[in-house]
Structure 1
Amino acid sequence: MYTRILVTTDGSTLSKKAVRSAIELASATGAELIALHVVPRYPVSYFEGSISMNPEELASTEKRWAEKGQAIVDAVVTQARSAGVTAKGVITKSDLVAESIVGAAKKYKCDLVMMASHGRKGIKRLLLGSETQHVLTHCTIPVLVLR
């Protein structure tokens, strides 16, 4: 049914639920699992909502974020392998989370994307946006959204 499943994770409780479901589906179908974590870039200007930092501090902050993201995908890979699923962890650095997800699905030739959604509505959705909605409308393969 599926040969390669992309699961997105940020390490939150909700995304861990999506990871568990993705591992179960990959195990049931014999699919390979690609665990993706998108590391944001630190905002560099006042208009992006940041305070001024020197380049060394910026690099240090982004390095910590990347290390945390690597730990998150490593945990998913370990969990998947213990369930007998072939898995790979991928880290991408970008402020464009949804576009990174769609791009990774293409790059790794996935035939399903699994991701969690907070299900924000109203003003929260307007202010915080919806990465899930963007993936749903721009991805050319099936997207399974879990809440």
Structure 2
Amino acid sequence: MYERILVATDGSELSELAVNSAIDLALLTQAELVAVKVVHHYPASYFEGSIMLSQSEVSHLREQADSEAQRVVDAVKEKAASRGVKSARAIVMQAELISEAIIEAARVHHCDLIVMASHGRRGIKRLLMGSETLHVLTHSHTPVLVLR
């Protein structure tokens, strides 16, 4: 049924639901698992409150974000392997648009399914905060399983 499943994670408790479901599906279908965390990189002129950050501070923050993201996807890979998934990969991507990076990762890695969680925001919260999940769901050519 599925040969390669991409699970998008941000390391949150909610995304852990997606991770567990993706692992279960990978085991059920003998599929490979691709764990992806997208790090949103801000431009160098990013303001933290009212203080402009120096280039070295921005670089340091990016390194920290990349390191934390790698830790998150490595944990998913380790969990999948310990549960018996035949092959699991841990991928960190940097992008301005998280949803587009997830769609691109599914395309590049030839995934048959994207599994991700949704906060289920509605109304003004969704309008103000956006929805990466909704964007993936409506723009991906790869089927998407959304968990809440």
- Shift of residue 42, structure 1, vs aligned partner: 2.7
Q: In structure 2, do the counterparts of structure 1 residues 140 and 42 end up closer, same or farther at CA, with 3 Å as the change threshold? A: same
Measured in 2, the distance between the counterparts of 1:95 and 1:46 equals 13
Q: CA deviation at 1:51?
A: 3.8
> TM-score, structure 1 length as denominator?
0.95
Aligned equivalents of 1:95, 1:81: Cα separation in 2:
30
Letter in 2 for 1:20: N
Quote the residue 1:69 is aligned against.
69
**Correspondence for 2:123:** 122
Query: For the Cα contact (< 8 Å) 2:34–2:91, is it kept in 1?
Result: yes
The alignment's TM-score, normalised by the length of structure 2, stands at 0.95
Show structure 1 runs of 4+ deviating over 3 A.
43-51
Worse overlay, 45-54 or 95-104? 45-54
Alignment-mate amino acid for residue 63 of structure 1: E
Partner of 2:27: 27
Take 2:38 and 2:7, find their aligned partners in 1: how far apart are those partners? 11
Per-residue CA deviations over 1:91-114 (Å, capped at 9, x if unaligned) read 000120000000000000000000
Q: Match of 1:35, SS?
A: strand
The alpha-carbon distance between structure 1 residues 46 and 53, as it changes in their structure 2 partners (threshold 3 A), is closer
Q: Percent identity?
A: 55
Secondary structure in 2 aligned to 1:145? Answer: strand
Residue number in structure 2 paired with 1:109: 110
**Could you tell me whether the CA contact under 8 Å between 2:34 and 2:88 is conserved in 1?**
yes
Task: Give the paired residue count.
Answer: 147
In structure 2, do the counterparts of structure 1 residues 57 and 47 end up closer, same or farther at CA, with 3 Å as the change threshold?
closer
**SS of structure 1 residue aligned to 2:52:** coil
Deviates more, 1:114-123 or 1:35-44: 35-44
For the residue of structure 2 that corresponds to 1:88, the secondary structure is strand
After TM superposition, give the deviation of residue 50 of structure 1 in Å: 7.1
Distance change (3 Å), C-alpha of 1:49 and 1:133: farther
Q: Tell me if 1:145 matches 2:146.
A: yes
Structure 1 stretch displaced more, 40-49 or 82-91: 40-49
